[in-house]
Amino acid sequence: MSSILYQNKKIQYQVSGAGQPVVLLHGYCEDQQMWDHFIPLLPSAKYITVDLPGFGDSDVIPNISIGEMAEVIMAVLKKLKIDKIILIGHSMGGYISLAFAEKYPASLIGLGLFHTHPYADTELQKAARNKSTDFLNRNGAAHYAKQLIPKLFPAGFSRFNNSLVNNLIHRTSRFPVEGLICGQQAMRDRADHSKTLAKITCPVHFIIGKKDTTVDEKRALEQTTLAPKSLIHILPDIGHMGMFEQPKKTAELVREFINYCQRNLTV
């Protein structure tokens, strides 16, 4: 495990393997450990994972935006002297990936959107995030995690995968409340990146779960028409956490995308 200082705050990251650099970004209430079981299922490559500010072992950066989180990723890449990457983001990590794509399109040879979308929050969604912030202030991270994490999976999943879900709840409970609040506010205020997706020249990979109650199905499908060059997978029995619900299936799809991007470079 390594770290950099960004605005005098510690940002934790990890590099494993060798070859084509692939950056995997976790979502909200997650950290880079979520990829530990997933990376061994993927093809040989140099995998970079990061604890986003306020999550895992990275420090909180007050009032950070989604765009600035993208700058954090670039700071890690500069430290590693990496110019070209395949970038795959889950949920909030997808929002950051799209912000990165707007700022640094020449750095991307592939963009993976894993249970996420390019659109800004609606007013109702912004109000819901404000309620989440109030809940966090009143009740803390542990109570919030118990409310949120089970809802990310399809109905009934937690009953048969209690240990997995409880482990995710426990990890989220360790995150500072300030970091969780900053994440909510960053997502609430994020820019719409549908135009970014429409202009992108590298291949884009969409993984969509039909049982995902976090990403609106209409929006999830609508985004697939925006990217000029795309691979689209709509999974009927998966919710918002495909890498946990069906790791072998989703890893197979990600592996296919990574291989496709590498072949695309040589054409």
Average pLDDT over residues 7-12: 97
User: What domains lie within the chain, and their CATH numbers?
Assistant: 2-121+192-266 (3.40.50.1820)
Q: Are 11 and 5 in contact (CB under 8 A)?
A: yes
Query: Taking the model in full, what pTM does it have?
Result: 0.97
Residues contacting residue 167 through CB under 8 Å, at least 6 positions apart: none
The answer, yes or no, to whether residue 182 has pLDDT greater than 60, is: yes
Q: What is the residue-averaged pLDDT of the chain?
A: 96
What is the chain's alpha carbon radius of gyration, rounded to the nearest angstrom?
Answer: 17
Per-residue pLDDT of 53-96, as tens digits, reads 999 999 999 999 999 999 999 999 999 999 999 999 999 999 99
Predicted confidence at residue 266, as pLDDT, reads 55
Edge-to-edge strands of the sheet including 21-25?
2-6, 9-16, 46-50, 21-25, 85-90, 108-114, 204-209, 230-235
Average pLDDT over residues 13-33: 97
